[in-house]
Homo-oligomer: A and B are copies of this chain.
Amino acid sequence: MTATNGLAQQIAEAYAQAWTSGDVDKAMSYLADDIVCDAPAGRVEGVAAYRPFTQEFVDVLTSATITKVLADDTSAAIVYSFDTQWVKDFRCMEYLTVEDGKIKHILTVFDRLPAAEAARHAQR
């Protein structure tokens, strides 16, 4: 048997619930001020930069599902599926680490190809 205190799980669930329901302010409250996010297009540092990054994502969502949250004492993985106007069942995963009750680092993985192809077609 392995056990966890459940803190990272609770924080990850609350963060995911907040931003997928459009409450970006509440989502930001779970992050350390010096949050570092390694996203597919590069690194985003600090809450001030991370807020518009998240808002942009929220703005294109038509629905969001939190498929799963898995965690140990200090880190969590979140599995999402999103629908946007252009893409259905768009999958994203985040791996985050928690320190002193705040999210310090987020690794965000998703496929940029569908959006890049849509943009190329739109240019024609």
Contacts and interface: CB of A to CB of B under 8 A. Distances in A.
Contacts of A68: 75, 77, 95
Contacts of A116: 113, 116
Interface in A44-101: 67-68, 70-72, 75-77, 79, 91-93, 95
Contacts of A77: 68, 70, 77, 79, 93, 95
Given A72-B70, A79-B77, A93 B111 contact: no
Oligomer: number of copies: 2
B107 A109 contact: no
Contacts of A110: 109, 111
A108 to B, nearest CB: 9
A93 B112 contact: no
28 contacts: A1-B5, A1-B6, A2-B3, A2-B4, A38-B91, A40-B111, A67-B95, A67-B107, A68-B75, A68-B77, A68-B95, A70-B70, A70-B71, A70-B76, A77-B77, A77-B95, A79-B95, A79-B107, A91-B107, A91-B109, A92-B109, A93-B95, A109-B109, A109-B110, A110-B111, A111-B111, A111-B112, A112-B112
